[in-house]
Amino acid sequence: MATLRLENGAILTDADAIADELAPLNIQLNQWTLGDNPALQNLLVQEQLHEIEKAQVLAALEHYFEQLQQTGNYASRDLIVLHPQVPNLAELLAKFDRPHTHSDDEVRYILDGEGVFGFIRPDGSQIELTVTATDYINVPAGTEHWFYLTPQRRIKAIRYFSGTEGWVPRYTETAIRFRPVLV
Ligand SMILES: [Fe+2]
């Protein structure tokens, strides 16, 4: 379940209150159950996954991809698995930890671990949303945002794509007023 931090330090956990704060950004945040498939659960508790295991996770959750394809122009999906042993983790994360936009929606389904999305709202205020397992989020194209991992530095998430060319970050150089979450 997601939690939201405001610049005044308030932390919101109520889903309706979080939805109200996200409304000016048109961000969609839903809960998608992972179900009770023991094979899937066994894979998700592992820190690392081989390619064949990633394919098994995607297959177990393919019904969500099929649903998305019925409602929008989704072409592909993949599973990203980040953990402290990923050799180029710092380099990977550095691409996204300062404010940027994309020309496509950023669509993620969090399966394990956690991450933090920061957003700049139309009035200039900043918020940070911590997403965890079962959170599905759609950040609309053009939304100024950033992303980083919490100190556990671990996340598994399905990324849904309508294309690949929209995936290049365009940096906006806006200063982040939040400090990193210290958990
Ligand atoms: Fe992004």
Give 68-91 pLDDT, tens digit per residue.
999 888 999 999 999 999 999 999
SS3 state of residue 88? coil
Q: Domain segments of the chain: what residues?
A: 3-165
CA dist., res. 168 & res. 156, Å (int): 21
54 in Cβ contact with 22 (< 8 Å): no
pLDDT in tens, 137-172: 999 999 999 999 999 999 999 999 987 666 789 999
Give me ligand 1 centre to Cα 176, in Å.
Answer: 15
- Separation in Å, CA 9 to CA 68, 117, 128, 158, 176: 35, 16, 10, 30, 14
Give me ligand 1 centre to Cα 50, in Å.
Answer: 25
DSSP state of 133: T
Give me ligand 1 centre to Cα 140, in Å.
Answer: 10
Q: How confident is the model at residue 178 (pLDDT cuts 50, 70, 90)?
A: confident
Judged against a pLDDT cut of 80, whether residue 51 lies above it is answered with yes
CA dist., res. 155 & res. 110, Å (int): 7
Give me ligand 1 centre to Cα 96, in Å.
Answer: 6
> 62-71 vs 51-60: helix axis angle to the nearest 10?
60
Predicted local confidence at residue 69, as pLDDT: 93
DSSP-assigned beta bridge partners for residue 21: none
Give me ligand 1 centre to Cα 163, in Å.
Answer: 14
Give me ligand 1 centre to Cα 20, in Å.
Answer: 22
Judged against a pLDDT cut of 90, whether residue 179 lies above it is answered with no
Mean pLDDT value across residues 87-106: 93
The CATH homologous superfamily of the domain defined by 3-165: Jelly Rolls (2.60.120.10)
Give me ligand 1 centre to Cα 114, in Å.
Answer: 15
CB-based contacts of 20, cutoff 8 Å, min separation 6: none
Give me ligand 1 centre to Cα 87, in Å.
Answer: 21
Predicted local confidence at residue 183, as pLDDT: 45
